[in-house]
Structure 1
Amino acid sequence: MRPVIPYVVAALLFGIGVFGVLRRRNAILLLMAVELMLNAVNLILITASTTVRSYLEAAGTAAYTGQVFALFIIVIAAAEVGVGLAIILQLYRLRRSTAVDEVPLGEDAAPVVPR
């Protein structure tokens, strides 16, 4: 198998995800960009595992480590989305906006009373 095409697709997905993280102000779109980056990493892990497994089968051993790591990344991504959406919903209830650059950071931030 020639793994060039999956690696190029993964690089494009990761690049789009990085652009989304650096450029977007909306927190929901930011989470979607992070998910794109995680899916690109999953594609790389599975492609590398498939490529290496074809060589290992010739030697008599086979491993599914890429698929196992991809499964762990999917579980972590699901937990990240659950926690992230809960934080974004609370932010929207308090500020009526999901803009990331309006989030108060640090101890100097004044608490906002919900309307």
Structure 2
Amino acid sequence: FIFIFQTSVLGDSVGGVLKSLLDSQEMAYAKEIITYNRFIIQGTVRPSLVQKLSEVADSLNNKKVSELWDMVRYMTQVPAQASGDPLLFRRSKVLQTALISQAKKYLQDR
């Protein structure tokens, strides 16, 4: 016999109502990702996913998680690779310099 397992964010139904396996914080992040995916499917201008998830973290009033998302926001502000080998770009002096610069900026702005 071959069994196929599917993962879902929904658990068993209770009284005809679906019950989520996610807690309220995880659900807040999931809702933002669902909204982001809708923008992609519709082909419209999509918002910054990092910014949206950072806003979710701020709304949850968890200082450590908010700080983590602030750091992610800084570290994603580096030049994107236009073309070529991604592994070579990740080891390039240009990217390394940009990452170090953003890390310094994050620490200075704290």
TM-score by length of structure 1 reads: 0.33
TM-score (norm 2): 0.34
More helix by share: 1
Which of the two has greater strand per residue? Answer: 2
- More RCO (CA 8 Å, sep 6+): 1
